[in-house]
Amino acid sequence: MITRMSSLFLRTLREDPADAEVPSHKLLVRAGYVRRVAPGGYSWLPLGLKVLRRIEAIVREEMEAIGGQEIQFPALLPKEPYETSGRWTEYGPNLFRLKDRKGADYLLGPTHEELFALTVKGEYNSYKDYPVTLYQVQTKYRDEARPRAGVLRGREFVMKDSYSFDLDDAGLDASYARHRAAYIRIFERLGLDYVVVSATSGAMGGSASEEFLAVADTGEDTYVRSTESGYAANVEAVVTPAPPERAVEGRPEAQVHYTPGTPTIETLVDFLNGAGLGRTFTAADTLKNVLVKLREPGEKEWKLLGIGLPGDREVDLKRLEAAVEPAEVALLDEADFAANKFLVKGYIGPGALAAAGVRYLVDPRVVKGTAWVTGADKADHHVVDLLCGRDFMPDGTIEAAEVKEGDASPDGQGTLVAARGIEIGHIFQLGRKYTDAFQVDALGPDSKPVRITMGSYGIGISRLVAVIAEQHHDELGLVWPRAVAPADVHIVIAGKDETVAEGGERIASELSDRGARVLLDDRKASPGVKFADAELVGVPTILVVGRGLANGVVEVKDRGSGERVEVPVDGVVDHLL
């Protein structure tokens, strides 16, 4: 295929756009890939759309390779399923809500767990139907607090979201592992420098969760990794000691370690009764004014799962049991709280709270000033709002829990180094959060219903365009990896001579006939303008057809290395393919 720059809908800009801070944003606008329409809303121009489609194609290939089947939901969704799951309110101000002419509530889908769960429930009902993995490549809407950096953080963006449905935990583990491997293949093919880190589960709920972060100084996520082990985590997911200035003299941390084996209400109750709290618990009991920190099997971090409340709010033990498998539990007791004896340490993850089905569990007396919430802008507004609304932090300061470079690694091996990254993918073992909400069951071989378990897996497709640009550019412009470049060869016709133009055309046709995608600069511009645009646009191979043609040679330039070689014009097509 030949794309002629004389007619291509493209205007490159010499100046950086005024609102752009990061290189990818500047370059994608200057090179005419995207144009801003609204905060966090961008149109894709022809070159940008080609890159976007290349990324989509790679993602689709790898999704199909693990057995994913593509479907597509509307972006305009009724409120009811999101009410059932609780996310109509939980998603907070990030959700675009709207009303139709009859006054019915709708939303623009930020992610589609509810719809996938409902659809599978509607079509499948036997154990023989499972497992199944479905996905879509679709436009999502989130009213981000800070849309940023062009398509990097949009309010309308393209995501690949897939969902696995399995009969049991082992099935979910396998589906998760398949997705993890597919994601590794995708990000390798896209030429990205990235890390896989353990992550909080955010507003999605669930337990096992990992993020794929592209390494970038301009990233909004901070991750730490151990110098000695494979440990790597988003700082949001790391248990941190309270910062020194927050520590209060004479308040040692109390932790009672306990390994319950198979956790049940009974073992939790046993544990509570054995913890010397000076009170007897039963299975029908609720927790009040106690903090339970759980460490799940295989996980390094403690999760603070509940702080009971004074007055009428309570934590239902049954909900704790349903959602988590504690390997170790630490408990702080009521009397000690009252005596102001303990310092609450560690991380309150809204994801951890959601994972346990536990909400609104903050005792201001206990927590104020000694615990903090991360991810204020990570779709966790329900918790943040609540905390603020209850005067938890009247000044509204929600501080991120930062582990520092040089801290000991939580797994005890080595020290931590910190770096910044951009989230490009996120995989979750959701478990039964949504299948419980929608009662998605399969009839087992014994005709008894089996509750399906679910995973959800996202990739930011439109974000990836910016992320790849962020990692692949130089001072002159973009430098696309071959796999996603908008063309394979960029031919610059340098000179007004008719034979030069003919030579360029001939090479372009031959390359195109042999399957290459050619961007042919056949404009009436000066060679200087054409060279500058070729560097800016970033096609990996630039072929200059100019004066040398009279001597039977053309110049091939590698956009990445800058290396130039003269090649006989007769052999250039073979040289390039």
Task: By CB under 6 A, name the one of 24, 85, 111, 164 that touches ligand ATP.
Answer: 111
Q: Which is nearer to Mg ion, 354 or 379 (CB)?
A: 379
Q: Which is nearer to ligand ATP, 159 or 307 (CB)?
A: 159
378 binding ligand ATP? (CB under 6 A): yes
Q: How far is the CB of 40 from ligand ATP (least distance, A)?
A: 7
138 CB contacts (<8 Å, ≥6 apart)?
A: 72, 73, 75, 109, 112, 158, 159, 161
Is position 175 an interface residue for ligand ATP (rule: CB under 6 A)? Answer: no
Closer to ligand ATP by Cβ: residue 130 or 194: 194
Minimum separation from the CB atom of position 536 to ligand ATP (A): 24
Per DSSP, helices labelled H in 191-292 are 265-274
**C-beta nearest to Mg ion: residue:** 426
154 near ligand ATP (CB under 6 A): yes
Q: How far is the CB of 202 from Mg ion (least distance, A)?
A: 6
- To the nearest whole angstrom, how small is the minimum distance from the Cβ of residue 326 to ligand ATP? 25
Distance CA 221, CA 549 (A): 51
The yes or no reply on residue 206 touching ligand ATP (CB under 6 A) is no
User: If binding is defined by CB under 5 A, does position 426 make contact with Mg ion?
Assistant: yes
Q: Strands 303-307 and 291-295: what pairing?
A: antiparallel
Q: Shortest distance, CB of residue 270 to ligand ATP, whole angstroms?
A: 37
Residues 386 to 425 in contact with Mg ion, rule: CB under 5 A: 423
| Token pair recorded at residue 306 | 């509940």
Q: Is 194 helix (H, G, I), strand (E, B) or coil?
A: strand
d(CA 327, CA 305): 13
Question: What does 111 interact with, of ligand ATP, Mg ion, none (CB < 5 to 8 A by kind)?
Answer: ligand ATP
Binding track over 353-392 against Mg ion, x by CB under 5 A: --------------------------x-------------
**What is the SS3 assignment for 42-70?**
EEECHHHHHHHHHHHHHHHHHHHHCCCEE
Residues 459-478 that bind ligand ATP (CB under 6 A): 460, 462-463
200 binds ligand ATP (CB under 6 A): no
CB closer to ligand ATP out of 92 and 154: 154
- One of 42, 157, 187, 392 touching ligand ATP (CB under 6 A): 157
Q: Which is nearer to ligand ATP, 30 or 426 (CB)?
A: 426
Write down the least CB distance from residue 524 to ligand ATP, Å.
39
Alpha-carbon distance of 555 to 547, in angstroms, equals 10
What are the DSSP calls for 454-511, one per residue?
EEEEEEEHHHHHHHHHHHSEETTEE---TTT-S-SEEEEE-SS-HHHHHHHHHHHHHH
In order, the DSSP letters of 350-362 are HHHHHHTT--S--
**Could you tell me which residues come within 8 angstroms of residue 69 by beta carbon, excluding any fewer than 6 positions away?**
132, 133, 134, 135
Q: Considering only residues 144, 301, 321, 533, which one is a binding residue for ligand ATP as defined by CB under 6 A?
A: 144
Q: Which residue has its beta carbon closest to ligand ATP? A: 460
Cα(292)–Cα(254) distance, rounded to whole angstroms? 11
CA–CA distance, 250 with 448 (Å, rounded to integer): 56
Minimum CB distance to ligand ATP, residue 378 (Å): 5
Of 47 and 379, CB closest to Mg ion: 379
Q: Which one of the spans 83-91, 170-178, 457-465, 513-521 is the region binding ligand ATP (CB under 6 A)? A: 457-465
- Closest separation in Å from C-beta 108 to Mg ion: 15
Residue 356: CB minimum distance to Mg ion, A = 19
Q: How far is the CB of 156 from Mg ion (least distance, A)?
A: 14
* Residue 297: cis peptide before it, omega within 30 degrees of 0: no
Binding track, positions 123-142, relative to ligand ATP; x by CB under 6 A: -------------------x
Q: How far is the CB of 213 from ligand ATP (least distance, A)?
A: 9
Query: 413 with 226: CB under 8 angstroms?
Result: yes
467: which 2 tokens? Answer: 């992320």
Name the 3-class secondary structure at 295: strand
Residues with Cβ within 8 Å of 128's Cβ and at least 6 positions away in sequence, in order, are none
Residue 62 vs 211, nearer CB to Mg ion: 211
Closest CA to 352 of 379, 333, 371, 324: 324
CA distance 501 to 398: 62
423 scored as a contact of ligand ATP (CB under 6 A): yes
Interaction with Mg ion in 46-105: which residues (CB under 5 A)?
none
Choices 50-58, 100-108, 287-295, 422-430 (CB under 6 A): range interacting with ligand ATP: 422-430
Counted residue by residue, the chain has a size of: 577
Choice from 150, 306, 350, 425 touching ligand ATP (CB under 6 A)? 425
Tokens of 365: 């007396």
Cα–Cα distances (Å) from 203 to 76, 206, 300, 375, in that order, read 20, 9, 21, 10
Closest CA relative to residue 554, chosen from 522, 506, 486: 506
Considering only CA atoms, which of 326, 195, 303, 298 is closest in space to residue 240?
Answer: 303
How near is the Cβ of 370 to ligand ATP at its closest, in Å?
A: 26
**CB under 5 to 8 A by kind: which of Mg ion, ligand ATP, none does 424 bind?**
ligand ATP
For ligand ATP, the binding residues (CB under 6 A) are 111, 142, 144, 153-154, 157, 159, 202, 378-379, 423-426, 458, 460, 462-463
For Mg ion, the binding residues (CB under 5 A) are 379, 423, 426
